[in-house]
Amino acid sequence: MNRQRIAIVGGGGAGLAAAWLLQHDHDVTLFEQEARLGGHAQTVDVASDGGVVHAETGFKYFLDGSHETLLALMKLLGLRPLRRRSSLTIVDRVHDRRLVLPPRTPGQLAHVLRHLPLVLALRKMMASAGGVVERRDWSRTLADQAAALKLPERFTRELLVPLCASSWGTTVEQMATFPAYSVMKNLWKGAAGFHELPGGVSSYVRALAAATAVRVELDRPVRRIETDGGVRVDGQPFDQVVVATPAWVAADLLPALPVAAVLRSFRWFDTRIFIHGDPSFMPAARRDWSVINHLFQREALAMTEWSGHLERRPVFRSWVPAGTREPASVHARRDFRHLVVTPQQADLQRRLEEHQGQSGVWLAGMYVTDVDDHESALLSALRVATALAPRSPTLQRLRAATPPGTPG
């Protein structure tokens, strides 16, 4: 393939990965509207009790079996993700229920035994995740999957859906539409532990950026993409453009193209993440604090990660729904739109695939490929690179480092 001029719009995970994959075969210019690269991948360093806690405003957890391409890329970049143990606390003020999993004290064990049918149902649901992921069935919701396992409807209503809704920072009504495949792939094997990076995910962004030798224009929002008589990005001519933005942003940039109608079919919800030092968002007793803590209340659901759990420092990350109480001692806040994954996701992705490359326009992002996580963003970039630079040395290295059978 002849060397081409390629514009990439968006310097988040998908756009930056696309630039890394295409850099040796084409002349690439990356446009990013913010003054930094990484998109939602951003670490906030919080000084606490004489030390520093690395807290995340975007993605943090990645798992064996769900994020194999991401793990392979990190190792290629010389990064060494560390495996951490997971723990979970659920405080349900609606049903006067407290669960610490795994239990660490006799009192916590007594609470688990008191609600053992619900705990066993949750364990059975999670044990089914491998089969759900393997089937890639987008049509079945969480309630459908629980019913197929003959789990009590009370478990689905009181524990399963609220637990997943607070994990995504949304409502139970919205979560009820999410396919079981999408949710369970994100949570698959999470109970057994997860990986995280020393220094936070910003170290991944910095390493990927350092390995990417392309022209980068930061603090440079793109206003217009034209495709009549060639591709032009705000008037600048290119041979191809990779639009690595959320679907709703891409639709606004490509209003005249048929793909815009597909892009507008994706939905989202507004959510907020706070990095803070307010312990009132944690279980009342410190002995009940876990890595992940869920609070169920009639007025709202919330999830709080104990970002400082390794250092035993009071630094937290909370998903807080709009209109509900905000934490005190806020170190950082991020408002963003989160993709709503529906049973129509696979069909929308097939329709997007039909438009890829038309008029010199390519789409990348977590909504383009598979489920709503950073692995999907990376896979979407890999697919674009396969079409535009099939002999790319970075593409070949990444494929060689990824375990056989990994999707993408």
Identify the CATH number of the domain in which residue 397 sits. 3.50.50.60
- Regarding whether 93 and 166 lie in a shared domain, the answer is yes
**Where among 340, 357, 391 does a domain terminate?**
340
329 domain-assigned: yes
- Regarding whether 397 and 279 lie in a shared domain, the answer is no
Stretches where the chain sits below pLDDT 70 are 1, 188-192, 405-408
- Regarding whether 295 and 246 lie in a shared domain, the answer is no
63 domain-assigned: no
One-letter amino acid at 173 equals: E
- Regarding whether 91 and 175 lie in a shared domain, the answer is yes
**Where among 318, 340, 362 does a domain terminate?**
340
Q: Which of 13, 5, 155 is nearest to 73 (CA)?
A: 13
71 domain-assigned: no
- Regarding whether 24 and 109 lie in a shared domain, the answer is no
**Where among 340, 361, 376 does a domain terminate?**
340
Map 28-60 to HEC letters: EEEECCCCCCCCCCCEEEEEECCEEEEEECCCC
74 domain-assigned: no
137 domain-assigned: yes
- Regarding whether 254 and 394 lie in a shared domain, the answer is yes
- Regarding whether 115 and 183 lie in a shared domain, the answer is yes
- Regarding whether 244 and 99 lie in a shared domain, the answer is no
Split into its structural domains, the chain has a count of 2
- Regarding whether 106 and 142 lie in a shared domain, the answer is yes
- Regarding whether 242 and 181 lie in a shared domain, the answer is no
75 domain-assigned: no
199 CB-contact burial (10 Å; exposed 0-12 / middle 13-18 / buried 19+): middle
- Regarding whether 111 and 161 lie in a shared domain, the answer is yes
65 domain-assigned: no
Judge whether 128 and 145 are in contact, CB under 8 Å. Answer: yes
Domain range for 249: 5-42+200-264+344-401
78 domain-assigned: no
Check residue 407 and give its pLDDT.
Answer: 64
Check residue 403 and give its pLDDT.
Answer: 85
- Regarding whether 217 and 188 lie in a shared domain, the answer is no
Size of the chain, expressed as the number of residues it contains? 408
* Cβ count near 148 (within 10 Å): 12
